[in-house]
Structure formats: structure tokens, C-alpha cells
Structure 1
Amino acid sequence: MTGPFTAEPVEGGVRVEMTRWFAWVFGRALRRLSLSYRHGNPLYALQRPFRMGRHASLLQGLYPEVAPSPKESKDFLRRHRDVLADRALLERVRARWQGRRPILLTHAEVDEWIAALGQVRLLFEARSAPKTAIMWTSLAQETLVLAVAPDTFTEPHHQRETTT
């Protein structure tokens, strides 16, 4: 393993490895995010946007301006909260995250991991986490993307070396 998080293409999917530190830090972030997506939690996705008092909605923090007006943004979040705050997706990712190493993911699971890591990155940004945590999250997403689609990025430093 050359870094704290690696992803290599294998037959039918991607092989993921991560250091204990990476697994622990991001496992905790996935857990926190999953717990935030429960009905009744005041941080949950606009469940009661007008009765939330001092508590900010987590989704409003993650996706503050998704439309030209605040009303349109709230309407969008209200319509799409079940997709944006998909607790089942996070629980599937957490179950694999905490499992045996190395982790072998199908392509569908890679898509879920990329989505979950995006939500973790947004959570880190909303909670003013250290910039290194945000950077490692983005790097893990990029690593997964390159494992399934190596020609995604055109910059030479993003290209995977291939042996023939």
C-alpha cells in the first residue's frame, strides 16, 4: 500500500485498502453522518425546518445554496432529502468499511462509496474540520474514480501508469 487509502481495479470491481488510522477517522465520520440522518434528530434534513430553533439543518449546511433563492433551496432539499440523506446507503458503506481487509467492492458499491465520501467531505466542510481531512476525503474519492475509470482526468499527474 502506497498511501493511507488505495483502490486498484480487479476483475468485476475494485480492491480497497486503507490504514487503521484512515479507517478509524473516516469510520467515525460515516457513523456521525449516519446518526445525523435519523428522523427526530434536529440536524436531520429539514424534518421540521420552521421549528428547529437554534439547530441548523445538516442538509442546509451541506448544501446551502442549491437554487437561486433560499425558498427554492429549501424546497429542493425537502423534495430530495431522502436521496441526499440516504441513511441506508451510509450503513451499507459503513458495514463494508468496518469489514475484513482488503475490501473487494463491486462497481455499484464503488458508486456508493464515492457518494458517501462526498457527504463526509461536505460534513467536514460544514463542521470546519481540518483542511487535511477534507483533502484526504477528496483524494479517496479521486482514487476510487481512477480505479474504475482511469481516463477520467486529462492532467498527466492523474493518469494511472499502465504496463503492457
Structure 2
Amino acid sequence: MSEFSHLDNTGKATMVDVSEKTITRRSATARSMVYLPNEVLKQLTNGDLQTKKGSVFQIAIIAGIMAAKKTGDLIPLCHPLGLDNCKIDIQLNDDQEVVIDCTATITAKTGVEMEALVGASIAALTIYDMCKALSHDIVIKETKLIEKTGGKRDFKRA
């Protein structure tokens, strides 16, 4: 009926059966972009924002890693996975936007795209939460898959 992997042949929601898949090393990198207005950027020192609660970027990294580990609890049909690694990198680009890259890796029968996307997204939301007292003009512009390896096919965004 459908080529969607999470629908059975009658159109009902289903978890993908990975029991026959091959175990391979799988990796995925996702990126979230956050626009920070000048009133927030003025608080930037040494490449981070310091608040009474602590370092904004360091707390966002921890939040993103914690979220990636909980993806199976957040996305209904995702398999619960024990990640081999999750790394989040936060930088400012030349347009004064925060670039959050989350890379998740595992050796398993299923990929980690959703874990990378959730990690990047929650890191972005954490930055918003910690900076909203300075401005509500913060914009989480996009979250997208950058690259994935392992499984049926690799993917790399141009």
C-alpha cells in the first residue's frame, strides 16, 4: 500500500522490524541553526554566553546529548538505542548564527538519524530557553540532516 517504512501493508502504524537487518557501524550528523539578536550577542564572551545558571553552550551540549539518548522515548516508532557516542559542537558562523552539529554513532541494525536530529533540536531549544530573558527575537531557523552513513545507503547534503 505504501512505501513509508512505518506503515504496514494495510496502512496501519508499525515499528520497523529490524530483526533481519545486518549490524553495521552507523553515524548521522544533524544541524540546527539559531539566530541570536544583538542584545543576546552583546553578552557573548570567549565564544559562549555566561548566565547565572552557567554556560549556555555547555548546558545546551549536555541537554542535546541527554535528548539524543532518549529519542526512543520521544518519537513513538523509533527503536530505543544505546548510542556508542554522541557529540555536539556549537559554533558561531560569520552571520552571527549559532550552528549546532550533533553526531550520533552506533553499531547496530538501525540508524541514528533521529537521535542526531533530536540532539541538535534540543540543544537549540536549550539555547532559546536560557537566552529568552534577554530577547524573544531568537529564531530557531532550521534543523536538518547533514550526513548519514551505514545501512542501505549513505547520504550527504551538498
Which has the larger helix fraction?
1
Higher fraction of strand? 2
TM-score (normalised: structure 1): 0.28
The structure with higher relative contact order (CA 8 Å, sep 6+) is 2
